[in-house]
Amino acid sequence: MTKLNILQYSNMQNLHIRPELKLSILENNQSYLELEKKFLSKYSFNFLNTFSFDKAGFLELLLQLNKKGKIAISVGETQSLIEAAKEFENLGLKLSWINLQKDGNINKADISTEFDFIFISSYVMDTFVKTNLKEIKKLTNAKIISNASANYDISSDAIYFDSYKLTGFFMGGVILFDEELFEEKTIGFTNSIAVDFIYEALEKQSFDGSSKELFEKSLKEVLKDDIYFFVDNKQTLPYSLHFALKGIKARELIRTLALDDIHITNGEGCSLGLSKPSRIIQAMAYDETTSRNSISFSFDKAYTQDEVEKIVQKLAKKYRQIKVLNEGN
């Protein structure tokens, strides 16, 4: 299997539920408490909560913060958070949006000193364009709450993790924080399985960006005028590559390459060839049709020159076949 969608779907194998992590007020929970202590120590935070990594779970977090101050959210965040924010507004509550520029970077002009909390990560979903949170801190005194599933920035005041992207299973998320930022849950309402699996995934997590330039060079040489770029890949996470192919929907290529055990992605929820275009590309002011051209690679190992050329040639062959079929319809 050639897994070039590692940042969207890690898909851990052989996960095992440990009976000793079972939570009960009538039993000794020492094994879980030790796990929680290791998790907090790894990232130097004091508190840990689990929450449902979906619209309802993020809405609960937003409602808690709303009691304490003004909230802003980057449109480059995970889809579940964006859906929660829209539901938050539907309830008649106010928050601010931080937009993306045409080049994929955060629009810093949208950041205000009036914000108390900002949901903004060290990378943008789908494109993996990096955001320097240290620079964001210079523009505001707000607490920074970020997704650390693909990259952790020490400038974050709270971090959360996506079990689906880290393990391939939906079990809920984990959020780490200080200063009683959120309402701490009792142990009986903690998803110990999610904590265990996410911690294990993070311990095993590895990336390798050594093949990024090889892939980009080979793609340009083989695809020539059929390839273009929404973002500057020098500004993306070092183990990610983002590009676009003219004249086809990415999901068509995703599906056909999967038959050859080559796995790529168009963005969140699109690695399986689903019909949704990249929301992030649309947030960068591209139309829906154009946003369907976008493709992301991400790497967890090094590839040889020969391996890169074979993968790119296979991709190019499938791409041209699909393009010809589309033109004939």
* 26 pLDDT tier (thresholds 50, 70, 90): low
4 versus 272: which is more confidently predicted?
4
Architecture in CATH for domain 208-328 = Alpha-Beta Complex (3.90)
Contact criterion met (CB below 8 Å) for 253 and 245:
yes
What are the sequence ranges of the domains in the chain? 19-204, 208-328
pLDDT score, position 271: 43
pLDDT score, position 196: 94
Share of the chain above pLDDT 70, in %: 95
User: Do the domains spanning 19-204 and 208-328 agree at the CATH topology level?
Assistant: no
Is residue 270 scored above 50 in pLDDT? Answer: no
The CATH code for residues 19-204 is 3.40.640.10
